[in-house]
Amino acid sequence: MTSRTIQWRPGSLDLVLERPEDAPARIVRLGTASPAPSPVAPFRVQPLVELMVLGEGRGLSNTRFTDTAAGSRLRFVDAVERADGDWRELRVRQRDEVTGLEATSVFRARTDVPALQTWTEVTNTGSAPRVLQMVSSFASGALAETADDGDLVLWRARADWCAEGRWAAIPLSGPDGLADINSELHRHDGRGALVTVSKSTWSSGEYLPTGVLASARTGRAWGWQIEHNGAWRWEVDRRRDGANAVSLVLSGPTDLDHQWSTRLLPGERFVAVPVSVAVSDEGCQGALAALTRQRRAIRRAHPTGDALPVIFNDYMNTLMGNPTTERLLPLIDAAAETGAEYFCVDAGWYDDGGNWWDSVGEWRPSTGRFPDGGLARVFDHIRARNMRPGLWLEPEVVGVRSPVAAMLPDEAFLSRNGERIVEHGRYFLDLRHPSARKHLDEVVDRLVHDYGTGFFKLDYNVTPGPGTDRGALQPGEGLLEHNRAHLEWLDALLGRHPEVIFENCASGAMRADYALLSRLQLQSTSDQQDWRLYAAIAASAPATMLPEQAGNWAYPQPGMPAEALAFTMINGLAGRLYLSGHLDKMSRAERELVADGVAVHKRIRAEVATAEPFWPLGLPAWSDEVVALGLRTGDTVRLAVWQRDGGPHDIHVDLPGLRGRRLRVETEYPATLPGWQQRWDASTARLTVCPAVPGPSARLLRLRPES
């Protein structure tokens, strides 16, 4: 086999591709651009692109997306590099002569970030239509350095409603990993894989679209995220190339998993969903830190939202979708007194009948809930207290009893076999259709212009299944087109209303992906109402999203013990404080403790927006008695430590990066409750803390060098 290589070093990472004349191009190195780069992987069997085409199938029988027939026939055509400011781009074009399909792999990287964003563009240059059933966005087997891949560990996270971000480590050589079947003896790859898929439009409804593959021996790690607001798949496979090798394949929707396929006529092009892959030499947490930098690099700047103003929302454990003028006015006063800067009226503001779930869609304020001045009076009161008003909105659905259901044509709704899809009493707008987008544009524009709404909580509580077959080869194709139309609608919305903050929510964090979070300013991290359980969600959230986007609920209540009240406030302070609770019914001492927490958020929010997250006790397990999250900014380290049960007993927090340094350890919040005992040992780089009381208790600590 004759071969040549392409080396691409955009700044902070090193990508080497092999381009044989008689085989597909493939990645043979993807790592940090360190002075001593990682060696070229000896396993070169995994093609750069996997391409499933109807009538072509796979080269070997299995249900994995490796060794696809069309993918294995791709041959290198050319590679083009370009620069655009701090960004570099590499485009690698290949062609399959049998089908006439050209696949272009696009790599984008910012010079100061050890990560790349990548996707595949497929063009039909032949004379016959071709049906695509799967197109990889990224595929490589270049992580393992030796024939021994037994030290590789896969990190992935389950995500259920009210139980988001539950990370677990899966050793590839363990019982839940990839079995070694001695594929060399069989001269055949195994058929098994570690496959993770999403369903429908909840992109993080069962598993996160994020994962890490790390070597326990060398520390080399890849972290990835699939940046799509719909269906996706990623898989880790063991492949044979004289010895066992591990491949990673990332994609959007597939025919096998999501009823997706698309027909390309001659001259037409399909673009796969984008993904980001980050590299590190410091294991799983290093890869997550690199993903943090990548997320900041790809997200849309928003001057108002990026200031991290304090938002009070009347829903969680408070009004719970039942707002009225009488209930809101004292709550507005109390929120202002504690330091809130926005006040959001959550669900129910549009309802006159008390049973609004299947009647939503018009989004006009109730007159019964807001007599004597209407919603405008409530909003005027919010502004009079120096806050900006906000509203909850679930724009993508229309209740079956809503007048809008009859006003819009059938083509404006997702449908199957000519019948509108219904889920839990709701229809789904098809945002490919201009009348659906026009309806939503009029709703948002009216609420901004007529009421001065400065914040929207965009929720999404039901899903349409595989998708719509209207104007599509299969339901999954219609859903992908709808997903992309949704993003186009959001882009236009942000362009028209650059001063308005938009929150991403879907029954909490059931749609937390960077198709949406690269656009919207914050993400609801959960609907979890138990403040003790919320600690694990708040601590793990920065593995999935930026700390400054992690809208963690803090819902202090009157009558709470002071330690419990501080605990729930630290849930919020671990990311982007999102405040609720019956503040209007609190004692002065309780409200002062809340106000102290709000003041801390305002003092540290600029640092949170640049912080690198880490987990000194490891990524939290759902039932851990103690969880911790670190946020590192320059020489300052902040630690949120939660004792969820038991105690008091010593909690040991190892901080190896601070070994040998003299540090000042301070309690940043709460400053008025009995302090935890603290002891820093510079020689062992161990911080030991001991809660002051048994049971649930939490502290936000600041560590900085002694002057």
Query: Helix, strand, or coil here: 585?
Result: helix
Tokens of 371: 């007599």
Task: Give strand pairing partners of 193.
Answer: 237
pLDDT 10s digits, 152-197: 999 999 999 999 999 999 999 899 988 777 666 666 666 679 999 9
Q: Could you read off the pLDDT of 38-83 as tens digits, one per residue?
A: 656 555 689 999 999 999 998 777 888 988 999 999 999 999 999 9
DSSP string, 15-52: EEEE--SSS--EEEEEEE--SSPPPPPS---S-S--EE
Taking each helix axis from N to C end, the angle separating 531-540 and 562-573, rounded to the nearest 10 degrees, works out to 20
All structural domains of the chain with their residue ranges: 5-298, 305-524, 614-705
pLDDT along the chain (707 residues), means of 10: 82 96 95 73 78 92 88 98 97 99 99 98 98 99 68 96 98 87 65 91 98 94 98 89 75 98 99 99 98 99 95 98 98 99 98 91 97 97 99 99 98 98 99 99 99 99 98 99 99 98 98 99 98 99 99 99 99 99 98 99 98 98 98 97 93 96 97 95 97 96 91
Protein fold of 614-705: Immunoglobulin-like (2.60.40)
- DSSP state letter for 577: E
Radius of gyration of the chain (CA): 26
**pLDDT, position 242:** 43
* pTM reported for the whole predicted model: 0.97
| pLDDT the model gives residue 646 | 86
Q: What CATH architecture is 5-298?
A: Distorted Sandwich (2.70)
What span, in angstroms and rounded, lies between the C-alpha atoms of 568 and 398?
35
CATH class of 305-524: alpha beta
The torsion angle over the Cα atoms of residues 10, 14, 15 and 19, rounded to 10 degrees, is 100
Phi-psi region of 244 (alpha: psi -120 to 50; beta: other; left: phi over 0): beta
How do the residues of the chain divide into helix, strand and coil, expressed in percent and rounded to 5? 25, 35, 45
Q: In angstroms, rounded to a whole number, what is the distance separating the alpha carbons of residues 47 and 25?
A: 6
